[in-house]
Amino acid sequence: MDIDALRAAATAWVALAPADDEPEAVTEMLARGDDAALREHFGATLDFGTGGMRGRMGPGTNRMNRLMIRRVTSALAHVLAQTRPGASDQGVAVAYDARRRSAAFAEEAALVLAAAGFVVHLSPTPEPTPVLGFATTFLGAAAGIIITASHNPAADNGYKVFDWRGAQIVEPFDTDVCATMLASSASIAVADDATRARRVRLWPSDLLGAYHAGVQAVRIRKSAPLRIVYTPVHGVGGIPALRALRDAGYAHVSPVPEQLEPDARFPTVPFPNPEEPGVLALAMSLASREHANLILANDPDADRLAVAVPDRRGGWRQLSGNQVGVLLANDLLSRDRRSEKDLVATTIVSTAMVARIAARYGARCVETLTGFKWIAQAALAHEANGGRFLFGFEESIGYTAGTLVRDKDGISTAVLVADMAAAWHARGLSLADALQSLYQTHGLHVSRPVSLKRPGLDGLAEIRAAMKRLRSAPPLHLGGRAVVGSRDVLHGVGTRADASTYALDLPASDVLAFELEDGSRALIRPSGTEPKIKLYLEAREALADAEAWEDAEERVAPALIEIEKDLRAAAGL
């Protein structure tokens, strides 16, 4: 976009923006000729990524603001009316988390929907994302919206949409919404008080009780004595997670007091993602004082779950998303006789170990694109063919079991992990011992996720250049290991060691995967929700006799660092 087009876009935006969207800041950019700032705020328009629409709050089309909520909601209403008969009467469920402006953005979405003739089922309080997914189907709504940026920085907010089945929207629905939004430049109607009173309804009082009953129904065993420390990391998971654990019979749950109440500033952590180093420091300190057996942590919208267990040195060790995923998959698969009718789903960037576990039990395992929306699509398709969906997970600490929620659910998963840990604790063992057993059976799988932040439009250009460079000159060796195969998901082509090719059974997505001669692998993709490029590295080795998996991970770690180094060099990062 040239500078004249940028200025025209900014001028048009100012004419439509509400006062609290800071239109005066854009007027000042125009007046002082700050082309760099205009490019950052108007050089792109937010759209739907792997987990909805997310971005920094502020003025402009490349930011989350009230006008953006109006535009995307108006487009959503238009597409729903065109594609789903009776959608306006079925209505749309709307919820929000505890981030700054989330409640105001949810109210704005409700008013736009009401003005467009839709019934709106509005949450009266901040709620977790999985509760909104459940509410959409419980209420029989045509769609669901939640205002959340999940685990993004405090300056961000977002907009996530679910379809009538409670699954995140995918193509072509999401692209139709974005195309409709971009094609419209008119002022958008917002409901007056009378229209709001007729069409906006609060959630019924029995909805949350029904969700919690569903959480207990997902369980495969009863609880046993266990001491748990829990933190919602300043998010909205505190009340529902503590209720779910209490209902499950866990009487000794100690919440981290400094992080229990929702706080949009996230004051005790530099970044509100429980995967990040240091975020569980307060939880680990409390767990040591309480002589706890398990730490559970939700991210701010409680759709993800982090887990930490006592280590052999007397401290605490946080398990990776892949490790929790294979533990849960094995636990659920082992509870009954399995066949190809039973499905476990994961993403292409998650550990390959889960496929080996599923094969051992005779169940089916499928890989999907990155993003839990694709796991939900695989589950729904499998069920439509008479199958049963058991479990899905992604390496970024997202999991779901059964059909309660068609998205990742950090509340129900917290109970399942507690149940699993309690069963091992009753035997005098921990989840670390459970992993030892799995690694001895299936081989040690060591994963290393790497996120490289590249903010702004310059960062976006660098990310695109890196992917282009890898496609034009793919590496022949990574970490001293020969590349024996690759997958280019964007172009739907896989390449074997003999240079022959085959078609991939995946929708197009900007992902590259490199298979190495010893069974290791490396994948790279741009993030769909944050200004990052992500690397996913995994090595597989046999676990030596009497070797602890923690020690084996330390032995293998340098090899993964070398693979990362070579992949970054090949990408120019």
Which residue is it, tokens 């839990």? 372
Q: Cα(first)–Cα(last) distance of the chain, in Å?
A: 26
- The pair of three-digit structure tokens given for residue 322, joined into one six-digit string: 């892949």
Measured distance CA(80)–CA(408) in Å, rounded: 24
Helical H segments across 205-265, by residue range? 207-218, 238-247
- The pair of three-digit structure tokens given for residue 364, joined into one six-digit string: 């089916």
Q: CA torsion angle for 330, 331, 337, 338 (degrees, to 10)?
A: -40
CA angle, residues 409, 412, 417, in degrees to nearest 5: 110
Contact 200, 122 (CB under 8 A): yes
| β-pair partners for 447 | 538
Residue 407: closest CA among 372, 368, 370: 372
Measured distance CA(175)–CA(344) in Å, rounded: 28
Contact 424, 226 (CB under 8 A): no
Residue 129: closest CA among 362, 346, 338, 410: 410
Residues 6+ apart with CB under 8 A from 384: none
Which DSSP string do the residues of 261-275 spell out, in sequence order? S--TT-TT-SSS-TT
- 150 catalytic residue (yes or no): yes
Q: How distant is the alpha carbon of residue 59 from its chain centre?
A: 26
Catalytic residue among 150, 447, 509, 520: 150
- Report CA-CA distances (Å) from 551 to 281, 319, 400, 446: 23, 14, 30, 11
- Report CA-CA distances (Å) from 407 to 368, 398, 402, 573: 14, 9, 10, 33
Q: Give the pairing type, strands 481-488 and 512-516.
A: antiparallel
What would you measure as the largest C-alpha separation in the chain, in angstroms?
A: 73
- The pair of three-digit structure tokens given for residue 282, joined into one six-digit string: 């307060």
Which DSSP string do the residues of 357-381 spell out, in sequence order? HHHHHT-EEEEE-SSHHHHHHHHHH
- The pair of three-digit structure tokens given for residue 542, joined into one six-digit string: 């046999």
Contact 127, 95 (CB under 8 A): yes
Residue 413: closest CA among 230, 151, 141: 230
Catalytic residues: 150
